[in-house]
Chains A and B, each alone.
Chain A
């Protein structure tokens, strides 16, 4: 029989084995400093080479709590068992380590215990690292391995410290990364908010500018309307006295025509300044678009394709139907001029529920349901400079004589006066899109605007009665006096509200109708009408103005027997208005 394996027969094998194991473990221990390398792998190698079936690394914290940081040879069931707090002092521990550990593997009667502890516990931290190796009774290989194990225990402690530091660094880096991500998000949110704010401020500035320009235009229109009232009125008076064929008749007609055209211009200015008188009602926007298609086709020519994309559920808006039609015409004409070589005009409608965020970008409109009317072209587009002045009166990029510069400003005024908003999207050579948001009123049927139709007689014999004329402008007053008298009415003339009240008080007879300017010093026409009604409840009222805002002339202020006539107007128009106002009203 041959003895095998022991004792070694080749040279100093014991020393060879020791050096071999030392070298292998030393090389392997470098992996301990890599936080991603499981500590257990090293303990598996350590246990295998030294013949220790259970190799445990535990760390005793400053609070005496024991943490299992790695093991080889424990079962998964034992590994999850809680470890009792470690008895002090740190560098001695219990005399029989088997009693301190809960693992049933450790309590095997055949396993002795050979414990190695860190030579220098970290007293500053109050912690210690223990490497515990179990061997069968009498199986520990040689005391010469003690130095290897002690060295490896030191290495383990250093590695654990480094792993802690690396973990802390990783955690810190992760926190920094998270904080950085939060900060980046905050910056993005802030930048978006600032961009929105800048845009809103710009829109507000634009709106304020347009408001100022509108007031200026409205004021000018008012003054011009008074002047045009005189010019037009006088030309009518003169035409009656100068027979056809007279050499003065032709220049007189030119004056009358010019006054009429000037009146149309001031009307557009009033529309821009939102001081036109609207007849608002529920307008089915799809129906309106459909109705205007034929006219649009004639206007823009055959080289421009018209595409309509209409949302059948878009509903109705509250607006002046005529003004909306005019708005569509103006935008179509603008689009046509932007597409000299042809292109595509797209009209779209859709419902939009605008929230607070959306309305931030649409200055002046509250959140709620809106109808979006979009008119887009594939034309030359606009640069930023053009966009900035787009809605200003008399701003035009068209060559001299091709445009008045009042088309888009009228659109702007109509939209604003209807409680809506308008957004322009355009880039040079990329076409233009006008997006108009109008408040939705629900339903889809067009309702007739409340109106009072004349049921009275017409003709000279109807011109019976007394008219109280009140006008602060002397020239206008003179012209109107002529018109009224010419229509066959008796007339009382006053230059102010106070004077009119005095005349009324002094006049014993009947006064059938008050014909008054709206805006006058100290007392407006509406106020005067109201006061006169106290003593003359049946008096009819016709208010006239070249400057009429919806605030000053509302249906409520006009009352049941009141109506309005926009300056400048002709003698015939006034005569018709007076007849209409004095006609008997149907019983309510």
Chain B
């Protein structure tokens, strides 16, 4: 008996053949879906994207679907690398619409506006007693994803539960894939507008805490912090580590920075995290997303325990704000968190499962940057963060 409930049923496959994997995962998800209205798909990047899209469309039949490829996927606490996970939303009243924008590298803000406008237009006016969420799945390897988010918010407004994550890959140089309208795309953003009869809520936590002293971003260009306090950013970063007895080299920067990102503060005391990837020529720090010039920034630190706890808190927040029994959840968890945790990453998935409550179905992926906002906050593009979108059953 479904009634006015909105539930998620999941399926997965680790078969390396795209068509087989698609058929298996979708069949499992649909098998238990009482009233399927939409399918959300996350795949690892090993699959040939066009073949996978064709297989998924065939398997879904008339059920609309969308998704993206990422570095890793999970259904419940089971991490699949490689693999394919499928979540099917079942509801008699929920509505889902998909929009696409791009090319993202030409005009990221415009791509966000375009995708959101198409998704919102399909839903029509807000129905009384319903809630809405917007999922954004941008190509995080092309263009400025923070601008994509601002463009989408500019079109749809902030009065949604915003969640999402950057499509990525398993740290190899292949293009990322976004799926919408039955085809595989790259350099695009997919927006999924979701309206449910019950509450929708987003929990978002990262677990990183201040480590170094504040420094002013005196020069930045896009995703590169060029100078802090008028010095090459790497020099300031290195001194902050040295003050804690940690020695950083250019060669070893990547592995050190995985556990020591940058963060700039928000008025509520939290930090927006930026993930520095490498040292550029001239001593700049190349990050996963833009860093605003003029802000104060500091080196952050974190450990496995704090990260897992943050993931649990994110799930708890989402569960609390969804109110009542959770019908399902979609999780966007930064790939770097899995790198920090290593084999212990399953603890993070277990913590999310624990936070959502026993038996709550969820699927998710390891993303390159996350989209989200804490309750009634401002949707932004984050790094190294866990985002949980949950809805009441």
Task: Using CB atoms and an 8 Å cutoff, list the residues of chain A in contact with chain B.
Answer: 1-11, 13-14, 16-21, 23-24, 26-28, 40, 44-45, 47-54, 72-78, 104-105, 108, 110-111, 135-136, 139, 141-142, 145
Contact = CB atoms under 8 A, between A and B. Distances in A.
Q: Which 4 A-B pairs have the closest CB atoms?
A: A136-B376, A75-B157, A20-B296, A27-B294
A4 B376 contact: no
A44 B150 CA distance: 8
B73 to A, nearest CB: 25
B388 to A, nearest CB: 14
A99 B5 CA distance: 33
A7 B378 CA distance: 21
Contacts of A17: 265-267, 269
B153 interface: yes
A210 to B, nearest CB: 72
B122 to A, nearest CB: 14
Interface stretch (B26-34, B309-317, B328-336): B309-317
Contacts of B313: 4-5
Given A9-B209, A20-B214, A53-B158, A47 B378 contact: yes
28 contacts: A4-B205, A4-B306, A4-B309, A5-B269, A5-B270, A5-B313, A13-B265, A17-B265, A17-B266, A20-B295, A20-B296, A23-B216, A23-B294, A24-B264, A24-B295, A51-B267, A51-B378, A52-B378, A53-B377, A73-B157, A73-B158, A74-B157, A104-B126, A111-B376, A135-B376, A136-B377, A139-B376, A141-B266
Contacts of B267: 17-18, 21, 49-51, 141-142, 145
Contacts of B292: 24, 28, 45
A1 B266 contact: no
B249 interface: no
A135 B378 CA distance: 10
B373 interface: yes
A534 B293 CA distance: 115
Q: Interface SS of chain A: helix, strand, loop or mixed?
A: mixed
Contacts of B156: 75-76
B120 to A, nearest CB: 7
B87 interface: no
A110 B376 CA distance: 8
B380 interface: yes
Contacts of A50: 266-267
A52 B206 CA distance: 20
Contacts of B175: none
B154 A53 contact: no
A21 B214 CA distance: 12
Q: Which of A17, A54, A104 has the most CB of B within 10 A?
A: A17
A24 B206 CA distance: 23
Given A24-B292, A24-B296, A27-B294, 5 more contacts: A4-B205, A50-B267, A74-B157, A136-B376, A141-B269
B235 interface: no
Interface of B: 117, 120, 126, 150, 153-159, 205-207, 209-211, 214, 216, 264-270, 292-296, 305-306, 309-310, 312-313, 373-378, 380
A48 B117 contact: no
Nearest to B379: A53
A4 B310 contact: yes
A139 B375 contact: yes
B378 to A, nearest CB: 4
Contacts of A47: 158, 378
Contacts of B211: 10
A169 B352 CA distance: 59
Contacts of A51: 266-268, 374, 377-378
A135 B296 CA distance: 24
Contacts of A45: 292
Contact of A75 (B155, B214, B264): B155
Given A51-B378, A76-B154, A141-B267, A2 B293 contact: no
Contact of A7 (B153, B269, B312, B374): B269
Contacts of A6: 269-270
Contacts of A52: 378
B155 A16 contact: no
Contacts of A18: 267
A72 B373 CA distance: 15
Nearest to B205: A4
B113 to A, nearest CB: 8
Contacts of A16: 214, 265, 296
A454 B375 CA distance: 122
A361 B158 CA distance: 73
Contact of A105 (B159, B205, B373): B159
Contacts of A7: 269
A4 B300 CA distance: 13
Q: Which of A1, A4, A44 has the most CB of B within 10 A?
A: A4
A61 to B, nearest CB: 25
A106 to B, nearest CB: 9
A169 B351 CA distance: 61
B305 A2 contact: yes
A54 to B, nearest CB: 6
Contacts of B373: 53
A49 B120 CA distance: 26
Nearest to B162: A53
B376 A73 contact: no
A111 to B, nearest CB: 6
Contacts of B158: 47, 53-54, 72-74, 105
B230 to A, nearest CB: 14
A4 B296 CA distance: 21
A500 B167 CA distance: 123
Contacts of A26: 294
Contacts of B266: 17, 21, 48-51, 141
A104 B159 contact: yes
Nearest to B312: A1
Nearest to B207: A4
Nearest to A22: B296
B269 A13 contact: yes
B376 A23 contact: no
Given A9-B209, A53-B159, A40 B154 contact: yes
A28 B293 CA distance: 9
Contacts of A19: 214, 296
Contacts of A24: 264, 292, 294-296
A90 B38 CA distance: 50
